[in-house]
Amino acid sequence: MKTYSLFFSKSFLFLSVLFISAASYAQEVNWISWDEAAKLASTDKNPKKVFIDVYTDWCGWCKKMDKDTFQNPEVAAYMENNYYMVKFDGEGKDPIEYKGKTYKFVPSGRKGYHEFAAALMQGRLSYPTTIFLDEELNMLSPVPGYQKPEPFMEIARYFGDNIYKEKDWKAYTGEAGK
């Protein structure tokens, strides 16, 4: 009985140390508001691109992408270094200023939508949708749907490393000859 107890004590200790070690390597994404990102983009000497995660509270795929993709250490580190990260509720109520226009919440159906989300998603309200903007807040591309870490990183690097300036998407992904 003593050996049995000792085995479980050591196993518990090992698992505890393993969990604490793994937690210390996790990198968190520093989500900021749209206003903060817009201000940083206009005041930083070396501004970053802007990434916007458009989500809703009821969206299961949005929550899955938060957990699987944005909490991935490689994704979190790359995004933190290359983008101002904005989390934007597609059904949020606060007005948003963008390029001289004020976007507001529009009541519609059971919930409604935010005009800024509709503008960013080019009228196709689909959640999650991730939006990539350049350093001057110009649209690079909306990317609708859930993205696993590997495909997401391919897209994030395409814009973050300025590959889009040299190659089109199909050439970058090797789909040009297919």
Model confidence pLDDT, tens digit, residues 65-96: 999 999 999 999 999 999 999 999 999 999 99
Model confidence pLDDT, tens digit, residues 95-150: 999 999 999 999 988 889 999 999 999 999 999 999 999 999 999 999 999 999 99
Superfamily of domain 30-163: Glutaredoxin (3.40.30.10)
Model confidence pLDDT, tens digit, residues 31-72: 999 999 999 999 989 899 999 999 999 999 999 999 999 999
Chain centroid offset of residue 8 CA: 40
Domain ranges of the chain: 30-163
Report the sign of the C-alpha dihedral through residues 34, 73, 22, 63, in that order. positive
Q: Is the pLDDT of residue 6 over 70?
A: no
Q: Is the pLDDT of residue 11 over 90?
A: no
Q: How confident is the model at residue 29 (pLDDT cuts 50, 70, 90)?
A: confident
Report the sign of the C-alpha dihedral through residues 37, 84, 134, 69, in that order. negative
Tokens coding 153: 């990183």
At residue 152, the pLDDT reads 97
